[in-house]
Amino acid sequence: MSHIAVMGSGAWGTAIALSLAQRGGHRIALQAHSEASAAVLRERGENAVFLPGFPLPKEIRVTADAAEALEGAEIVVGVMPSQYVRHSFERFAPYLHEDQVLVSASKGIEDETGLRMTEVIASVLRARGLHLPVAALGGPSFAQEVAAGSPTAITVATPDMPLAVRLQREFSSGTLRLYTNEDVIGVELGGALKNVIAIAAGVVTGLELGHNSMAALITRGVAEITRLAVACGGRRETLAGLSGLGDLVLTCTGSLSRNRTVGIELGRGRRLPEILEGLHGKVAEGVRTTPAALGLARRHGVEMPIAEQMAAILHQGKSPVEAIRQLMQRPGRDE
Answer with the one of 135, 153, 182 that is the final residue of a domain. 182
d(CA 63, CA 65): 5
2 is in an annotated binding site: no
- Does a structural domain hold residue 335? no
Q: Is 58 a catalytic residue?
A: no
Q: Is residue 334 part of a domain?
A: no
Q: Kindly report, residue by residue over 260-297, the tens digit of the pLDDT.
A: 999 999 999 999 999 999 998 899 999 999 999 999 99
143 marked among binding-site residues: yes
pLDDT in tens, 238-265: 999 999 999 999 999 999 999 999 999 9
181-218: per-residue pLDDT in tens? 999 999 999 999 999 999 999 999 999 999 999 999 99
Chain center to CA of 269: 27
DSSP state of 56: P
The gap from C-alpha 69 to its chain's centroid, in whole angstroms, comes to 22
Contacting residues for 222 by C-beta, under 8 A, at least 6 apart = 239, 240, 244, 245, 248
The verdict on 112 and 255 lying in the same domain is: no
Domain of 121 in residue numbering reads as 2-182
**Could you say which of 160, 182, 204 is where a domain stops?**
182
Known binding residue 282? Answer is yes
**Into how many domains does the chain fold?**
2
8 Å CB contact between 8 and 82? no
The partner residues of 26 in beta bridges, in order of sequence, read 2
267 and 193 in a common domain: yes
325 marked ligand binding residue: no
pLDDT reading at 6 higher than 90:
yes
Residue 172 Cα to chain centre, angstroms = 19
Specify whether 118 is located in the same domain as 193.
no
In a shared domain, residues 193 and 308: yes
> What CATH number did the domain enclosing 162 receive?
3.40.50.720
Q: Is 173 helix (H, G, I), strand (E, B) or coil?
A: coil
- Same domain? For 169 and 202 the reply is no
Whether residue 92 sits in one domain with residue 17: yes
Residues 27 and 167 in one domain: yes
Q: Same domain, yes or no, for 311 and 260? A: yes
Q: Which residues in the chain belong to E strands, given as ranges?
A: 2-7, 26-31, 46-47, 51-55, 60-63, 75-78, 101-104, 134-138, 152-157, 176-181
Average pLDDT, whole number, for the chain? 97
User: Please, are residues 155 and 243 in contact by the beta-carbon 8 Å criterion?
Assistant: yes
* pLDDT for 1: 74
Residue 333 resides in a domain: no
Q: Is 248 part of a structural domain of the chain? A: yes
Annotated catalytic residue, options 166, 194, 235, 260: 194
Q: End of a domain among 157, 182, 207?
A: 182
34 annotated among ligand-binding-site residues = no
